[in-house]
Structure 1
Amino acid sequence: MRFLLQFAAVVAVSFVAGLAVTAAGDNVWLMLAAGVAGAVLAVFVYAWTVRLTEKREVTEASARTAASGLVRGTVLGLALFSAVIANIAVNGGYRVHGLGEHPTGAIGLAGFMAAAAVTEELLYRGVLFRHVERWTGTWIALTLSALVFGAAHLLNDNATPWGALCVAIAGGGMLTSAYIATRSLWLPIGLHFGWNYAQSAIFSSEVSGNGTNDGLLYAESTGNAWISGGQFGPEASVYTVLTGVLVTAVFLWLAHRRGRLVPMRREARTAALTLAR
């Protein structure tokens, strides 16, 4: 019941945030404001629902660690995607033609991506992964939540099974392992935002098969789809998969060092979850 209530609450606020951002239309400042407001509302609703249903302090969304987690995650996300697109470009999969026609679009995209990153992390890491981990342990929960995260991207316009699998392996693995290593939602939220913002607002590339955006650069994907990611975008590139696997491995190593991996054995899970928080 707790899972269903939390899941429904986050889905509802995600729907409202999406409507608000859509209603902003082409006004980049309204989109920015609507996206940020939706993100803040989503965190508030999540924390309130978890506190109500689980009768505990919501440490994974603590305001004390918000700023540091968001900043570190955003910088990491920007750096990682920049490294991916640089490798793609060097190998002929991405070409820049100049500045974009509407670079102010990057302002509105900050709000859009903030709302998307926050609501998705609350749903897939804060609700889905966290509850499944309590039932099965870290490894099964990591695998299942990553697969669900990837499968959800099959609903996108230019989705492909390969693209969804790449999102599951790279995105699902990287973001979930960031949560496991820190037991905080702020780092994965920042990482998710930084990655998507760089992808859309800076490099103007296709985002998970959802189309390109008016960002700072006027660019196009070219050449071999295994390198560029094809119609799905750079997230279906082999360089994204390699980067995601490497970062996931580093976060899981940190989680192991910090004692934050929850075993499958039922008798050991309760104690491990308590220590991991």
Structure 2
Amino acid sequence: MPPPPSDLSRRRAGLGPRLAGFVAAFLAATLAARGVRLLLTGRARLAPGPAASAEPYFLLYRLTGVAAVLLASWLALRFLESRRLADLGLGGGVRKAAYDGARGATLASGIFVAGFAALLVTGHARIVGTTLDWRALALQAAPATLLVGLYEELLFRGYLFQAIVERLRPWPAILLVSGVFGAIHYPNPGVTALGAAATALYGVLLGALLVRTRSLWTCIGFHFAGNLVQAALLGSRASGMSFGASILSVDYRPTLFAGAPSGLEAAAPTLLVALLALAWVLRCGAWSARDGARVLWSGAGPPPPTATRSGTRSTPPS
């Protein structure tokens, strides 16, 4: 049976033109977002330094960024794929978004709390005080980390990633995009090569989560909670950035074991727990390295059944 016309048109377009189309749309939308910020505030960029994410302007900066990547994704999906935004793994309504986001947030919180506990036990971190500033948490830290999660997941696990998966299959796409994801964070304040490599590892975990669940909400929840728990609860920088308020004031030893100077996400115990989480996700995964587009583009239906050891065939859950 011949494939639908939309599939034929996507094949003729090829991966290169599709990626070029998205990048062009994203750059145009980003320039428009910069113009909006300049018009509203007289500023177009963030101030240098780790505290930039703690100022109110950061919320406008990231909000316009989210709008830009959403617009670029919609244009690429509409005109290059004949698909909807929901097909990126954003469908299912509010209840599914909340459920999947909570699953990702729970996993991220467990990873960073476990890593922090290990640093406390080994003497590489010490709690020196507590501060509870609900206003700063609710009005700056929480929305800032949520917008960062939305922006980076839409950009790195959204249209670009899923188009590459369709062409290259999951693992090459996961490794390629995760490498770029880590490199993009390298210029952040205090992020070392080790910190960038740690970020790339979390990119691999996020890519595996997306392929496993086919829900971008799971990745957004993970990213949001990971940054919030590090910066607003455990007193650490998140990818070199602080978000203003932290419930715990923590003295981290300036050692590689404790992740210095990048932060808790680069600490050895945290990375070990993240690797265990990745192994768990892969073990639970019902997808094969041979699967391509069938594992994503959630609007296209579930992936095909996979053979089990007993010889029966089962359909993986979505």
TM tier, shorter chain? 0.7 to 0.9
CA distances 1:216-247 after superposition (whole Å, capped 9, x unpaired) = 22222115322x10111112111222122111
- Residue in structure 2 matched with residue 139 of structure 1 by the alignment: 171
The structure-2 alpha-carbon separation of the partners of 1:219 and 1:148, relative to structure 1 and needing over 3 Å to count, comes to same
1:116 aligns with 2:148: yes
* Aligned pairs (5 A) from 1:36-115: 39=66, 42-43=69-70, 46-47=73-74, 49-57=76-84, 58-59=86-87, 60-64=89-93, 65-100=96-131, 104-107=135-138, 108-115=140-147
Bigger Rg, which one? 2
- Residue in structure 2 matched with residue 215 of structure 1 by the alignment: 246
Match of 2:272 among 235, 242, 245: 242
For structure 2, the 5+ residue unaligned runs are 1-16, 304-317
Conserved? CA contact 2:53–2:241, under 8 Å = no
Conserved? CA contact 1:205–1:233, under 8 Å = yes
TM-superposed deviation, 1:192: 0.6
- Residue in structure 1 matched with residue 187 of structure 2 by the alignment: 155
Match of 2:158 among 107, 120, 126: 126
Match of 1:254 among 284, 292, 297: 284
The structure-2 alpha-carbon separation of the partners of 1:136 and 1:42, relative to structure 1 and needing over 3 Å to count, comes to closer
What CA distance in whole angstroms lies between the structure 2 residues aligned with 1:172 and 1:251?
13
Conserved? CA contact 2:144–2:243, under 8 Å = no
TM-superposed deviation, 1:182: 0.8
Match of 1:190 among 215, 221, 226: 221
Identity among equivalent positions (%) equals 27
Match of 1:6 among 8, 22, 29: 22
Conserved? CA contact 1:204–1:217, under 8 Å = yes
TM-superposed deviation, 1:84: 1.5
TM-superposed deviation, 1:48: 5.2
What CA distance in whole angstroms lies between the structure 1 residues aligned with 2:168 and 2:58?
40
The structure carrying a bigger helix percent of its residues is 1
1:175 aligns with 2:206: yes
Conserved? CA contact 1:174–1:248, under 8 Å = yes
TM-superposed deviation, 1:198: 0.5
Conserved? CA contact 2:54–2:141, under 8 Å = no
For structure 1, the 5+ residue unaligned runs are none
TM-superposed deviation, 1:37: 8.0
Q: Which amino acid aligns with 1:61?
A: L
What CA distance in whole angstroms lies between the structure 2 residues aligned with 1:93 and 1:86?
10
Conserved? CA contact 1:180–1:261, under 8 Å = no
The structure-2 alpha-carbon separation of the partners of 1:248 and 1:215, relative to structure 1 and needing over 3 Å to count, comes to same
Instruction: Give the stretch that moved more between structures: 31-40 or 144-153.
Output: 31-40
- The alignment of Structure 1 onto Structure 2 pairs a total of residues equal to 267
Conserved? CA contact 1:201–1:215, under 8 Å = yes
CA distances 1:127-160 after superposition (whole Å, capped 9, x unpaired) = 3321221221111111111111111111111121
TM-score (norm 1): 0.81
TM-superposed deviation, 1:185: 0.5
The structure-2 alpha-carbon separation of the partners of 1:204 and 1:9, relative to structure 1 and needing over 3 Å to count, comes to farther
The structure-2 alpha-carbon separation of the partners of 1:212 and 1:177, relative to structure 1 and needing over 3 Å to count, comes to same
- Two-structure CA RMSD over aligned residues (Å): 3.3
